[in-house]
């Protein structure tokens, strides 16, 4: 099988699997328990907080473990708004966010919180002017993704942050797709809260984290919860969190090497499209936007993305038509529509994404399948 859907989920690395197994066998106590077994489990959590916090240049006390990226986004946005005063009950987010962000703000809107959804420009970018026009005196929180999981487009968070800081507006970012792939520093980005997830960095599914700085006045949604300083209830998944930290450490060690490989594969794919004269256009053709090196968004002229995905699957190749969390819905992706393309073109969108085990052979097999589809269409 050729796997080109690493942006959706990654295989568990040997290092993470080993840590998960050892922690499951030897550190099985409840981290909330006061006996020695609980203390040992809590030591794993303490180490994992310190490790993950260092990776994003934050403080360990700011790391709160969750069940994944979706819960991290939900808890971050809703808990922050819950902690803000009545005169700051306005949240701004974008039309291209992960569905979990829209779940969060929709719930807040039903509770009376004012919500503004802003659109990026035709290059998929939220500019200072776009954000500034949406700001109100009562704005308390802005949530803008670090990069889009479907298109790979990176948002200029560091350019937007000063605009919010001078108005004392808190800034949250969904960094699930960028953490472990490019540098994510709360200091450099200028954000107050960050969401990350385990299964994007070769750790088991089921763990995530949200970072909130000590200055963020969040309040818990669940009264009486004791885990994670009251942010969420439920027994903490120590083995999965330990594996998350271990996999993240490995991702950081090989960050530069992986970026180099991703860029080589991307360049090879783009070159081969031209050499083979395939009618495939990519988002990388636009110099006005920065994109993640491991994600390529494509439009295969004359074919719906879902058809291409299923045809590739028959040839043993896994890729995506967009966000896995939105799969099953046959309609244009908001992230792709935001690029000002027609519904017809948006439905032709496919995404391939690279990872540790990706190779030029994988790309060649994909291109061979594309050529096969093109010949079939021409009746050759």
Taking the CB of residue 173, how many other CB atoms lie within 10 A of it? 28
Q: Bridge partners of 154?
A: 147
Q: Which distant-in-sequence residues (6+ apart) come within 8 Å of 18 by Cβ?
A: none
Q: What is the CA radius of gyration of the chain?
A: 21
Q: Give the C-alpha distances (Å, rounded to integers) separating 101 from 6, 143, 292, 316.
A: 21, 8, 21, 33
| Least confident segment among 3-12, 182-191, 227-236 | 227-236
| Least confident segment among 56-70, 102-116, 315-329 | 315-329
Q: Where are the domains of the chain?
A: 2-8+255-371, 14-253
The tokens for 360 are 């030029």
Q: Which distant-in-sequence residues (6+ apart) come within 8 Å of 336 by Cβ?
A: 150, 151, 297, 322, 346, 349
| Least confident segment among 29-38, 95-104, 188-197 | 29-38
What would the pLDDT profile of 256-299 be if each residue is shown by its tens digit? 999 999 999 999 999 999 999 999 999 887 777 899 999 999 99
Mean pLDDT over the full length of the chain: 94
CATH class, 2-8+255-371 region: alpha beta
Query: Can you give the pLDDT at residue 192?
Result: 98
Mean pLDDT of 230-248: 95
| Least confident segment among 10-14, 37-41, 260-264 | 37-41
Residue 119 φ/ψ, nearest 5 degrees: -105, 140
| Least confident segment among 27-41, 100-114, 241-255 | 27-41
378 or 175, which is more confident? Answer: 175
14-253 CATH fold: 3.40.640
Asked if residue 1 has pLDDT above 60, the reply is: yes
DSSP H helices, the chain, are 14-26, 36-55, 69-83, 99-110, 128-134, 157-165, 186-189, 238-253, 255-275, 305-314, 334-337, 343-346, 360-378
Q: Is 298 a catalytic residue?
A: no
**Matching residue, tokens 């108005």:** 167
Residue 12 φ/ψ, nearest 5 degrees: -75, 130
Do the domains 14-253 and 2-8+255-371 match in fold? no
Query: Can you give the pLDDT at residue 222?
Result: 87
Number of residues written out for the chain:
380
Residue 65 φ/ψ, nearest 5 degrees: -80, 145
The tokens for 328 are 């099953």
Q: Which distant-in-sequence residues (6+ apart) come within 8 Å of 135 by Cβ?
A: 92, 163, 167, 169
| Least confident segment among 29-33, 74-78, 314-318 | 29-33
Of 240, 312, 318, 325, the active-site residue reads 325
* β-sheet with 295-300: strand ranges across: 280-282, 295-300, 349-353
Query: Can you give the pLDDT at residue 117?
Result: 98
Asked if residue 135 has pLDDT above 60, the reply is: yes
Beta strand 193-197 with 114-118 is unpaired
Q: Over pLDDT 90: what percentage of the chain?
A: 84
Is-contact 210 194, C-beta < 8 A? yes
Mean pLDDT of 144-162: 97
Distance CA 112, CA 261 (A): 48
């Amino acid at each position: 099988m050729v796997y080109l859907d690493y942006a959706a989920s990654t295989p568990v690395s040997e290092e993470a699997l080993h840590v998960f197994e050892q922690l499951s066998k030897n550190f099985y106590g409840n981290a909330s328990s006061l006996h020695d077994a609980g203390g040992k489990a809590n030591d794993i959590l303490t180490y994992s907080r310190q490790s993950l916090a260092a990776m994003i240049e934050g403080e360990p006390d700011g790391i709160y473990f969750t069940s994944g990226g979706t819960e991290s986004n939900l808890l971050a946005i809703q808990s922050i708004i819950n902690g803000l005063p009545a005169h700051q009950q306005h949240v701004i987010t974008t039309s291209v966010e992960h569905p979990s962000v829209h779940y969060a703000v929709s719930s807040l809107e039903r509770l009376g919180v004012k919500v503004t959804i802003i659109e990026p420009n035709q290059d998929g970018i939220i500019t200072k002017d776009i954000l500034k026009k949406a700001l109100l005196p009562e704005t308390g929180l802005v949530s803008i993704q670090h990069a889009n999981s479907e298109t790979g487009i990176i948002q200029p968070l560091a350019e937007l942050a000063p605009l919010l800081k001078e108005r004392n507006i808190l800034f949250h970012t969904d960094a699930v797709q960028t953490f472990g792939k490019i540098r994510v520093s709360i200091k450099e980005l200028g954000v107050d809260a960050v969401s990350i997830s385990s299964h994007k960095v070769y750790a088991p599914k089921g763990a995530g984290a949200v970072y909130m700085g000590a200055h963020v006045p969040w309040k818990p949604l669940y009264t009486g919860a004791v885990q994670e300083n009251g942010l969420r209830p439920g027994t903490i998944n120590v083995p999965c969190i330990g594996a998350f930290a271990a996999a993240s450490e490995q991702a950081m060690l090989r960050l530069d090497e992986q970026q180099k490989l991703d860029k080589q594969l991307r360049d090879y794919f783009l070159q081969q499209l031209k050499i083979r004269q395939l009618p495939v256009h990519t988002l990388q053709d636009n110099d006005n936007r920065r994109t993640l090196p491991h994600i390529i968004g494509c439009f295969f002229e004359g074919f719906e993305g879902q058809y291409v995905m299923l045809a590739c699957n028959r040839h043993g190749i896994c890729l995506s038509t967009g966000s896995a969390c939105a799969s099953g819905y046959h309609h244009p992706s908001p992230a792709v529509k935001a690029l000002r393309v027609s519904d017809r073109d948006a439905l032709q969108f496919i995404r391939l994404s690279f990872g540790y085990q990706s190779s030029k052979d994988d790309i060649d097999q994909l291109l061979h399948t594309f050529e096969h589809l093109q010949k079939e269409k021409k009746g050759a």
